[in-house]
Amino acid sequence: MVWDELAREADDENQRDRDRWIGVYIGVLAVILAICSMGGGNASKEATLKNIEAANIWSFFQAKNMRRHVLRLQVDQLEIAKTANPALSPEARGLIDAKIADYKKLDAEFTSNPKSNEGLDELFVRGKALEAERDTAMRQDPYFDYGEALLQIAIVLGGVAIISGGSTLITASAVMGVLGTLFTLNGFSLLLDIPFIG
């Protein structure tokens, strides 16, 4: 009788220890899930923000390109007018040449202006850089989504394992937890490019 009672107490103590460790394990998974959720939220916000910024840059690029095109048409018109009218006085030719030079200088500033970083060449580089940042954030996001789902499943399976006492469930939870953690880490690092994700 005493031996049976001692054996039952030992089993109960082992079960409590097991449940405590599963509780700690679930707590660790919850922390990883919070980090994963934060990473996913940040990746989504970053993708949206960079997409808006890139759209703004490309709109500015198009507007500036149109202005440059109008300038070039004006230069062409002035050169045609100068050539088509040989009777122009030297003063009139000088004024037309000065205007053409001004327009060409402005054209060059529209094309490249490192000082303001708003020439077409600089805007093109900025737009492409923003698109690259957006694309990186968009590649990260699905890994966080899968990581969150796997970590949530791992937490649920761990909770059920406490109630049921089943070791199969805790093993399945551990597999899901490891996979969820790996997806989370890959979301931050993009070390692996897993096909069909995203």
Name the residue ranges covered by the structural domains of the chain: 21-189
CB hemisphere CA count around 141 (13 angstroms):
15
Residue 32, pLDDT above cutoff 80 = yes
Per-residue pLDDT tens for 40-58? 999 999 999 999 999 999 9
Integer Cα distance of 189 and 169 in angstroms:
30
Instruction: Show the tokens assigned to 186.
Output: 């890959």
Per-residue pLDDT tens for 131-142? 999 999 999 999
Residue 18, pLDDT above cutoff 90 = no
Q: 10 Å Cβ neighbour count for 131?
A: 17
Q: Which of the residue ranges 44-48, 90-94, 110-114, 192-196 would you say has the lowest mean pLDDT?
A: 192-196
Integer Cα distance of 57 and 135 in angstroms:
16
- Per the prediction, the chain carries an average pLDDT of 92
For residue 96, the SS3 value is helix
Residue type at 159? G
Residue 14 burial by CB count (10 A; 0-12/13-18/19+): exposed, middle or buried? exposed
pLDDT value of position 163: 87
